[in-house]
Amino acid sequence: MNSIAEQQRQAYEDVERIEQAIVDMMLQDLTKHRYKLIREQKISALLEQIQSRSKFLQEIEQDESGLRRKESAGMADNKFDEFYSRLGDIREYHQRNPDISVHPPEVEYIKYKNNPEESEERERVLLAKAEEEDGGDVPEIPDVQTFIGAEDEHRLDTMFSGEERLGRYVDLHEQHELYVNLKDSGHPTYLDYLADLHRVEAYPKRHKLLPEYAQYLDSLREYFDGYFLRAMPLFDVPKARDEAIAQFDTEWAERKVLGWTADEDTAKVRALYCAACDKQFEKSTTLAAHMGSRKHQKVVARQEDSSSDAKRSESERKVALDECIVRLYVQILGTKIRETRANVQRRQALTEEERDQEIDEEEHVYVEDKDDRDEQIYNPLNLPLGWDGKPIPYWLYKLHGLGVKFSCEICGNSVYRGRKAYEKHFQEARHATNMRRLGIPNTRQFHGVAAIDEAQALWERVQVDKKREVANVDTVEEYEDSEGNVFNKKTYFDLKRQGLI
């Protein structure tokens, strides 16, 4: 068994070699996304080893057992005796194990210096040269060990779903399904769900304590936690989460948490609202009948119990905290979520064959030249990207009028390029849902109205016209008596009641 001093020296050496291995990997100019991701995962694992070895060194320095001080005192008294005793132990160990293999520490870490893409390039060049030489022998390819092995690539392939594309995008179809099945969710499409995901607090407050909503938030948190470990292993999630929780505690104490502040309803709505049962009524008579019901009295009696109030407050705090953490995760992954939405929208225009071809090209693409891989797409006019990820032709841009932008206040000031996309969105589920939230039917006469005040004013005029039509029915309808005289409905029935006709 090695002495404590030797264990301490070995731990310091391990930390230094691991740090050098991390530096060697970071200095490599990798171009493939999968290799970059494997490198980050390797670095994350090495950082955990550094933490483990550092913790071991800290325990040695603290020396709570006193063994280190005892060993140091023994070595100070009899230096040579201790030296020859250790030397004898080493010789005896090797005599008992004569065939044991010895691996220098530097051999274990040399693989981190080798660039896997450069090794592939050398192998490709040698094979291509052998094919050009007719009848030439297959050259002997040197076995260069790199930090990426076959098991690493296999593990990476099984780590992500097809939608995630090795961590380029997120896959929230399962969470979208849970949200659609929530009460009063509005049933948004997957694209609308991704666009509004940052507004997690917008879900109706009266339904937030339902178990289905808590299950939805738990599913989001669990997915994002796993996604950070798989796609962003070097991001310090615990630190960001702790800062968000600390800020949440302050805002919760001041009742300033987004989505949990005092209701901003009108006085009329508040007057027709039962806070105990969390129900909204349209008529005062219905509210009065509800207040006198036995069910309402039971709810009030149950809420008067202090333990029930404390339990409800704790449930609200847990849901609000989950929303805060999910909002933080969505903010961190904002770019990936926007890219996911753009990718989903783009792939909807592709056939299944084109999708498979695109995936195959991404998997087998080979970067021929460093200048080519560093080349960025030239798009000075900020033209929209086509299905191939390149800007569309300028003539097509002008043909569809994509230079003209239209915004819709009803849809949260969303901007649409071109009149065709703008007019099409009036028939989409997102616009219809927002119209229902305003209490306005999404009929054809409201198409083209994008401002909230204009839509409400038009709806008021429509209601006035309907009432006027009902009031004018008596004067519009005409009746004829037996002598052929024509009267309006009101006059006819008045004369008939008097017996004059």
- pLDDT tens digits along 166-175: 899 999 999 9
State the Cα–Cα distance between residues 455 and 447, nearest whole angstrom: 10
CA neighbor of 258 nearest in space, from 188, 312, 198, 309: 198
- Residues near 355 by Cβ (< 8 Å), separated by ≥ 6? 347
Q: Is the pLDDT of residue 322 over 60?
A: yes
Report residue 392's pLDDT band, with 50, 70 and 90 as the boundaries. Answer: confident
Q: Which residue from 282, 142, 169, 320 is spatially nearest to 232, judged by alpha carbons?
A: 169
Q: Give pLDDT tens digits for 238-294.
A: 999 999 999 999 988 888 888 787 554 444 445 567 766 767 776 777 777 888 888
Q: For 206-220, 267-281, 364-378, which range has the lowest pLDDT when averaged over its residues?
A: 364-378
Give the length of the chain: 501
Query: Maximum Cα–Cα distance for the chain, whole Å?
Result: 142
The mean pLDDT value for 469-485 works out to 75
H-only helix segments in 254-351: 267-271, 284-291, 294-303, 306-332, 334-347
Instruction: Give the Cα separation of 120 and 126 in Å (integer).
Output: 10
What are the DSSP calls for 164-183, one per residue? TTTTTS---HHHHHHHHTST
Can you tell me the distance from the alpha carbon of 321 to that of 245, in angstroms, rounded to the nearest whole number? 7
pLDDT > 90 fraction of the chain, expressed in percent and rounded: 29
Q: Is the pLDDT of residue 85 over 50?
A: yes
Nearest to 273 by CA among 257, 264, 262, 284: 284
Residue 194 binned pLDDT confidence (cut-offs 50, 70, 90): very high
In the chain, % of residues over pLDDT 70: 85
Say which range, 324-328, 338-342, 464-468, has the weakest mean pLDDT: 464-468
Tell me: pLDDT of 472 over 70: no
Residue 1 clears pLDDT 60, i.e. is over it: no
Strands 405-408 and 414-417: antiparallel
Count CB-CB contacts under 10 A for residue 267: 7
Predicted pLDDT at 497: 87
Residue 374, pLDDT score: 45
Render pLDDT for 105-147 as a digit per residue (tens, 0 to 9): 777 888 888 888 888 777 777 777 767 665 555 556 666 778 8
Q: Pick the closest to residue 181 from 149, 225, 150, 211 (CA basis).
A: 211
- Tell me what pLDDT residue 217 has: 94
